[in-house]
Amino acid sequence: MAADFDAGLSAFLDGDYRRAREIWLVLAEAGDAQSQFGVGMMFEGGYGVPPDPEKASVWYRRAADQGMSEAQLSLGALYEHGRGVARDPGRAADLYLGAAEQGNAQAQYNLAALYLGGEGIAPNRELGIAWLRRSAAQRYGRAERRLKMMNVAVEASDPALPRDPPQAAPSSGVEVPSGVETPAGAEHLQILIEDNQFEVPLAALGESEPESAEPDVAAPSGAEFTILLATFDREDAALAAWDKIKSRYPELLRKLRPKVTALKLDGGETVMWRLEAAAVARESEAVALCEALRRGGEYCFPLRAGEAPEN
């Protein structure tokens, strides 16, 4: 099977997608995980076929069930972004964990981003940094840059990582991780800004642009959608992060303004401040903006104004 898979890979690299699919499909149906992943990749990327993330998810799942880390990573990304499957960050985290434990550097990075963003799983800065360090130890550039942006040393002794699946985020959207102390004045969760710069005019992302407004922290009137960027333990840290990310992406964010929301535990004590970019008139624009930011390595999630992130 290995030789046959290599023949399909050779055809794929030569651009003969029809031949590659013919070879891999036979092997995939016979249970070969590499070929199942290859077929999924072709459907996701639209190589020789119309892009179909739903079909891609089927083939990725078959390979992932056999423990193939690349398939776990790719299927996790579909769940994280809701492409071809119902959006489920918790399921994405489980899949990333499976690949991360096998040493997949990108899965380690993606899992760290979920822990640091606290979206869909319980936020945990300690685990986020630990997974970033494991990814950076393999010279994964995005992990190295994120640690640098956070002013965290790349090499350090981290506590043993748990083998249990990541915990789902509570309905309140926040959780104070037990045993984790945050230094005074430091952000519990940080926005992670890459060096990349995307100059994508908002006009290119939809038929009309949001109305211009000066930055403030109030919910904009008439706004339908916002973009979740990060969560912090201090309001001033959230506002400072807005200034920083807006300077990185001036064209993408030039007509948006910050919205900072206090997240409280059941007892009413404020423990987190959620930073969103507002206001976006239509869901299609919010999704397009997030896609542009994600291509730069940023955490981003579109929300209907007033709703909490999905668990």
Tens digits of residue pLDDT in 247-267: 888 888 888 889 888 776 445
User: In this predicted structure, what is the pLDDT of residue 1?
Assistant: 61
Place of tokens 């892009």: 51
Fold designation for 202-304? Alpha-Beta Plaits (3.30.70)
154: its two tokens = 């790349």
CATH of region 2-149: 1.25.40.10
d(CA 256, CA 210) in angstroms, rounded, equals 7
pLDDT confidence tier of residue 307, bands split at 50, 70 and 90: low
d(CA 104, CA 73) in angstroms, rounded, equals 8
pLDDT confidence tier of residue 169, bands split at 50, 70 and 90: low
User: In this predicted structure, what is the pLDDT of residue 249?
Assistant: 83
Which of 144-148, 176-180, 307-311 ranks highest by mean pLDDT? 144-148
Q: What is the mean pLDDT of residues 40-56?
A: 92
99: its two tokens = 């690949």
Q: Over 70: is that where the pLDDT of 130 sits?
A: yes
Give me the residues paired with residue 304 across strands: 225
Q: Over 90: is that where the pLDDT of 195 sits?
A: no
Average confidence score pLDDT of the chain: 75
CA neighbor of 258 nearest in space, from 224, 228, 215, 301? 215
User: In this predicted structure, what is the pLDDT of residue 231?
Assistant: 74
User: In this predicted structure, what is the pLDDT of residue 159?
Assistant: 55
Give me the residues paired with residue 257 across strands: 278
Burial of 268 (0-12, 13-18, 19+ CB in 10 A): exposed
Q: Convert the pLDDT of each residue in 4-38 to its tens digit.
A: 888 998 888 888 999 999 999 999 999 999 999 99
CA neighbor of 60 nearest in space, from 82, 81, 80, 43? 43
User: In this predicted structure, what is the pLDDT of residue 211?
Assistant: 32
Q: What is the 3-state secondary structure (H, E, C) of the chain?
A: CHHHHHHHHHHHHCCCHHHHHHHHHHHHHCCCHHHHHHHHHHHHHCCCCCCCHHHHHHHHHHHHCCCCHHHHHHHHHHHHHCCCCCCCHHHHHHHHHHHHCCCCHHHHHHHHHHHHHCCCECCCHHHHHHHHHHHHCCCCHHHHHHHHHCCCCCCCCCCCCCCCCCCECCCCCCCCCCCCCCCCCCCCCCCCCCCCCCCCCHHHHCCCCCCCCCCCCCCCCCCCEEEEEEEECCHHHHHHHHHHHHHHCHHHHCCCEEEEEEEECCCCCEEEEEEEEEEECCHHHHHHHHHHHHHCCCCCEEEECCCCCCC
CB 32 within 8 A of CB 62: no
User: In this predicted structure, what is the pLDDT of residue 287?
Assistant: 76
Residues contacting residue 65 through CB under 8 Å, at least 6 positions apart: none
Left, alpha or beta for 122 (phi > 0: left; psi -120 to 50: alpha)? beta
Q: Quick one: CA dihedral 204, 205, 206, 212, positive or negative?
A: negative
pTM for this entry: 0.58
Which residue spans of the chain are classified as CATH 1.25.40.10? 2-149
CA neighbor of 133 nearest in space, from 154, 151, 152? 154
